């Protein structure tokens, strides 16, 4: 954290309303991050929120009383919900449940949080979190439209595995995304330590044709690479994302080039040079079929056709061995199913890259195609073992680690 980052919210007062849901735990980290940037944070914890975190934890982190009860004689005597709602520069709700948004949209005031929201004359920002079907329900969509019409700002939820085990939109936004939204509300620009740096990121699988119908591929979703590209762009980098076939949306501020094969990916990477940084996340197929069939290969009485495989270009090794114009930092990814760290160390030496991000992609690891990742960062200086995190948090952490490498 730089001094400029710490001052982006200096003198701002934020009233943080914490709704019910597993994601309430993120509000604790959110409080800390806002305070690191100079904000004063007061917490309001709903009855649902108290099922997941405690008023004591909120008060301990913020250094302020945590308010919970509309009819608390002590709190109303000392502060009062009206005064509490008016003294903030921003009212932030994270997580915001479907129930709490429904109360807001319909002007209900049945507890402390909803009463504050009805009484406030300050800007309100909402970070929803709920089941994907609840998020998509027509009633929720109507309430969102009403609230937006009333001037409420939304921090859109993420897409991924939810607490209920289902997959889809409704996941509370990542903490740093919420911090960035608050900074943007106050017209403050978050620190952009990689401004002026050119970055190439590869992501996703490659599809290597067998014939016009079939191809060789793997289970990579591209999610980790897309998250890395987005995280680097948020830090100010000029990012070119070279992506194999995926169904993911392009991250904000990122220039995207779509390819299918390893040869096409190599050509796109070379075209994107020069660059200061290259992060090779893509799961590039090691082999392709020699002599792709011009027509669909048919079953015949001759039996199963033989497919002769030849090696694909090694994009990571090619970048690392460049004599002129080599990126100053080249980061590779090692997707392993066994002896993860040992094989990753060997890969870094063999490829000649600067860092290797090793991750377990076995069925037990669940990284390939999944929402979370546990990685080991291997550099010349040693190894860093990171905890299991959502891929977006892995990307944020890696992007900041890259910025630190350049001394910013």
How far is 151 from 143, CA to CA, in rounded Å? Answer: 13
In this prediction, residue 293 carries a pLDDT of: 79
Contact between residue 38 and residue 8 where contact means Cβ atoms under 8 Å apart: yes
Task: Say if 344 falls within a structural domain.
Answer: yes
How far is 66 from 383, CA to CA, in rounded Å? Answer: 40
- Return the CATH number at 112: 3.40.50.1950
Across the range 359-369, mean pLDDT stands at 68
Indicate whether 254 and 353 sit together in one domain.
yes
In this prediction, residue 134 carries a pLDDT of: 93
In this prediction, residue 366 carries a pLDDT of: 55
Across the range 147-160, mean pLDDT stands at 89
In this prediction, residue 2 carries a pLDDT of: 43
Q: List the structure tokens of 360.
A: 């377990």
In this prediction, residue 76 carries a pLDDT of: 59
Indicate whether 29 and 174 sit together in one domain.
yes
- The residue among 267, 230, 263 whose CA lies nearest residue 248 is 230
Task: Say if 146 falls within a structural domain.
Answer: yes
- DSSP 8-state symbol, 124: E
Q: List the structure tokens of 63.
A: 């250094």
Indicate whether 319 and 365 sit together in one domain.
yes
Contact between residue 28 and residue 16 where contact means Cβ atoms under 8 Å apart: no
Contact between residue 377 and residue 357 where contact means Cβ atoms under 8 Å apart: yes
DSSP-based three-state secondary structure for 314: coil
Task: Say if 18 falls within a structural domain.
Answer: yes
List, for residues 85-101, the tens digit of each pLDDT value: 889 999 999 999 999 99
Burial of 290 (0-12, 13-18, 19+ CB in 10 A): exposed
How far is 243 from 209, CA to CA, in rounded Å? Answer: 17
In this prediction, residue 229 carries a pLDDT of: 97
List, for residues 370-383, the tens digit of each pLDDT value: 778 889 999 988 88
State the first-to-last Cα distance of the chain, in angstroms, to the nearest integer: 10
How far is 107 from 104, CA to CA, in rounded Å? Answer: 5
Indicate whether 316 and 244 sit together in one domain.
yes
Across the range 355-384, mean pLDDT stands at 81
Task: Say if 190 falls within a structural domain.
Answer: no
List, for residues 42-84, the tens digit of each pLDDT value: 999 999 999 999 999 999 999 999 999 887 656 555 556 678 8
Indicate whether 335 and 208 sit together in one domain.
yes
Question: Which one of 164, 185, 206 terminates a domain?
Answer: 185
How far is 198 from 302, CA to CA, in rounded Å? Answer: 53
Tell me: pLDDT of 3 over 50.
no
Task: Say if 111 falls within a structural domain.
Answer: yes
Indicate whether 236 and 285 sit together in one domain.
yes
- Return the CATH number at 361: 3.40.50.10300
Indicate whether 99 and 70 sit together in one domain.
yes
CA atoms within 13 A on the CB side of 111: 17
Indicate whether 62 and 120 sit together in one domain.
yes
**Global pTM exceeds 0.85:** no
Question: Which one of 137, 164, 185 terminates a domain?
Answer: 185
Across the range 207-231, mean pLDDT stands at 94
Report the binding-site residues. Answer: 286, 296, 313-316, 333, 347, 351
In this prediction, residue 81 carries a pLDDT of: 65
Task: Say if 236 falls within a structural domain.
Answer: yes
Domain around 223: 198-405
Report the binding-site residues for CTP. Answer: 286, 296, 313-316, 333, 347, 351
Indicate whether 227 and 288 sit together in one domain.
yes
Across the range 198-217, mean pLDDT stands at 96
Task: Say if 129 falls within a structural domain.
Answer: yes
Task: Say if 269 falls within a structural domain.
Answer: yes
How far is 203 from 240, CA to CA, in rounded Å? Answer: 11
Structural domains counted in the chain: 2
Question: Which one of 185, 220, 239 terminates a domain?
Answer: 185
Mean pLDDT, the chain, as a whole number? 90
β partners of residue 205: 283
Q: Which residue has the higher pLDDT, 301 or 67?
A: 67
Indicate whether 219 and 161 sit together in one domain.
no
In this prediction, residue 377 carries a pLDDT of: 94
Indicate whether 148 and 289 sit together in one domain.
no
Supply the residues annotated as catalytic.
164
The H-assigned helical ranges of 243-295 are: 262-272
How far is 225 from 279, CA to CA, in rounded Å? Answer: 8
Indicate whether 43 and 91 sit together in one domain.
yes
List, for residues 7-52, the tens digit of each pLDDT value: 789 999 999 999 998 999 999 999 999 999 999 999 999 999 999 9
């Amino acid at each position: 954290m730089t001094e400029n980052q710490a001052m982006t919210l200096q003198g701002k007062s934020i009233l943080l309303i914490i709704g019910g849901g597993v994601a309430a735990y993120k509000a604790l980290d959110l409080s800390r991050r806002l305070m690191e940037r100079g904000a004063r944070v007061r917490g309001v914890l709903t009855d649902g929120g108290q099922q997941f975190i405690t008023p004591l934890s909120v008060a301990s982190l913020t250094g302020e009383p945590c308010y919970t009860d509309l009819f608390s004689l002590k709190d109303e005597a000392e502060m009062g919900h009206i005064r509490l709602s008016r003294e903030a520069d921003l009212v932030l709700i994270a997580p915001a449940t479907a129930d709490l948004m429904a109360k807001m949209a319909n002007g209900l005031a049945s507890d402390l949080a909803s009463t504050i929201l009805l009484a406030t004359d300050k800007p309100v920002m909402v970070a929803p979190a709920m089941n994907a079907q609840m998020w998509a329900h027509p009633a929720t969509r109507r309430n969102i439209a009403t609230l937006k019409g009333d001037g409420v700002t939304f921090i859109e939820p993420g897409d991924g595995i939810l607490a209920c085990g289902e997959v889809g939109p409704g996941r509370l936004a990542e903490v740093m995304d919420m911090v960035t939204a608050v900074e943007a509300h106050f017209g403050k620009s978050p620190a952009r330590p990689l401004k002026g740096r050119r970055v190439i990121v590869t992501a996703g699988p490659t599809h290597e044709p067998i014939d016009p119908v079939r191809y060789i591929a793997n289970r990579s979703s591209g999610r980790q690479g897309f998250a890395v590209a987005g995280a680097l762009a948020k830090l100010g980098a000029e990012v070119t994302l070279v992506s194999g076939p995926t169904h993911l949306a392009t991250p904000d501020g990122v220039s995207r080039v779509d390819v299918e094969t390893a040869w096409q990916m190599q050509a796109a990477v070379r075209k994107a040079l020069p660059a200061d940084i290259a992060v090779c996340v893509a799961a590039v197929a090691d082999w392709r079929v020699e002599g792709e069939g011009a027509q669909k290969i048919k079953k015949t009485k001759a039996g199963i056709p033989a497919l002769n495989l030849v090696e694909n270009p090694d994009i990571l090794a090619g970048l690392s061995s460049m004599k002129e114009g080599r990126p100053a930092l080249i980061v590779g990814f090692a997707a392993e199913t066994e002896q993860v760290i040992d094989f990753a160390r060997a890969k870094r030496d063999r490829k000649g890259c600067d860092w290797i991000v090793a991750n377990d992609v076995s069925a037990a690891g669940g990284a390939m195609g999944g929402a979370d990742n546990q990685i080991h960062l291997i550099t010349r200086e040693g190894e860093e073992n990171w905890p299991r995190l959502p891929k977006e948090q892995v990307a944020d952490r890696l992007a900041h680690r890259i910025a630190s490498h350049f001394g910013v």
